[in-house]
Amino acid sequence: MGEPPSTNGTHADAGSSRLRADHVRLAYDEHVVVQELDLAIPDGQITVIVGPNACGKSTLLRALARLLKPSSGEVILDGELIHRLPTKEVARRLGLLPQTPIAPQGILVVDLVARGRTPHQRLFQQWSDEDERAVRAALAATNAVDLADRPVDELSGGQRQRVWIAMALAQETGLLLLDEPTTFLDIAHQVEILDLVDRLNHEEGRTVVLVLHDLNLACRYAHNLVAMVDGRIHGVGAPGEIITTETVEEVFGLPCVVVPDPLSGTPLIVPHDTRASTSRNPTEAESA
């Protein structure tokens, strides 16, 4: 795996939060997915939301991004109700990478990244030197300059994810929300993407919220971990405070031991090996 993420960067005070959910209840039609929930996203930190499938992680992220209006409660951005803000204004403050983004067929990388500038364009000034600078900076930050003139369709999974993140960076927002950015990537490309996220946080001070499935990677990269189960928050805090053998079993139903990661010192989840108690010797199976 890559180098452990930096933990000595300058971060905002724990009490500082531009984005938060207050008593939020989220539902699709009559199906309630997230119960009344309170969550403040610490400024200048990487917050990772974890939990079992269908626990409400992505639904919560959609609400934080203003894509889903709460059936009760409010999402607050910079002290204002997010659903009362104009769409373009939200997009100038908050960038989102959805779980399965789709690029128009045949579009070039540079043109896709340029779409991140849409919130900043005015009616009579569609493109500016500032837009050009932002796109080039986003490509450089994601090591995608050499990909600029290639069709997105031809890229590998890891390259494609870097390009999508570049598009979000081109928005030049202080807040980035990424929904499962490592899905379908092999372990090397997962680490590459998360190293990029860590760099954006450490070097540029961006506040990042991610949904991840891999608990060990979540513990390694998160400053703030949110564990969800059944539409509720089970615990919030530093990975070392939240991830215990009891928590992993309660949230995921997984018997395990939690030990320090030998490289980062963060929690490392090792599942119990149940094969010894459930498997049988092949000769025993044949004689049964």
Output phi, psi for 275, to 5 deg.
-65, -35
Among residues 116, 141, 18, 31, the alpha carbon closest in space to that of 75 is found at: 18
Give the pLDDT confidence score for residue 278 in this predicted structure. Answer: 58
Give the pLDDT confidence score for residue 10 in this predicted structure. Answer: 38
Interatomic CA distance for residues 119 and 48, integer angstroms: 26
Give the pLDDT confidence score for residue 252 in this predicted structure. Answer: 96
Domain 19-242 coded CATH 2.40.50.100: no
Interatomic CA distance for residues 3 and 9, integer angstroms: 15
Q: Are 232 and 37 in contact (CB under 8 A)?
A: yes
Q: Tell me the pLDDT tens digit for each residue of 138-156.
A: 999 999 999 999 999 999 9
Domain extent listing, the chain: 19-242
Interatomic CA distance for residues 49 and 51, integer angstroms: 7
List the structure tokens of 263. 């490289």
Interatomic CA distance for residues 82 and 70, integer angstroms: 11
Q: Are 49 and 218 in contact (CB under 8 A)?
A: no
Q: Are 165 and 142 in contact (CB under 8 A)?
A: yes
Q: Are 47 and 88 in contact (CB under 8 A)?
A: no
Among residues 233, 232, 203, 235, the alpha carbon closest in space to that of 219 is found at: 235
pTM of the model: 0.87
Q: Tell me the pLDDT tens digit for each residue of 239-269.
A: 999 999 999 999 999 999 999 999 999 999 9
Give the pLDDT confidence score for residue 281 in this predicted structure. Answer: 55
Spell out the per-residue pLDDT of the chain, length 288, in tens. 444 554 433 344 446 999 999 999 999 988 999 999 999 999 999 999 999 999 999 999 999 999 999 999 999 999 999 999 999 999 999 999 998 899 999 999 999 999 999 998 876 777 888 999 999 999 999 999 999 999 999 999 899 999 999 999 999 999 999 999 998 889 999 999 999 999 999 999 999 999 999 999 999 999 999 999 999 999 999 999 999 999 999 999 999 999 999 999 999 999 999 886 655 555 554 444
Give the pLDDT confidence score for residue 121 in this predicted structure. Answer: 81
Give the pLDDT confidence score for residue 13 in this predicted structure. Answer: 46
Provide the sign of the torsion angle of the four alpha carbons 257, 260, 263, 268, taken in this order: positive
Interatomic CA distance for residues 26 and 24, integer angstroms: 6
Neighbours of 99 (CB within 10 A): 13
Among residues 137, 91, 98, 131, the alpha carbon closest in space to that of 114 is found at: 131
Q: Are 17 and 224 in contact (CB under 8 A)?
A: no
Give the pLDDT confidence score for residue 173 in this predicted structure. Answer: 95
Q: How would DSSP label each residue in 146-157?
A: GGTTSBGGGS-H
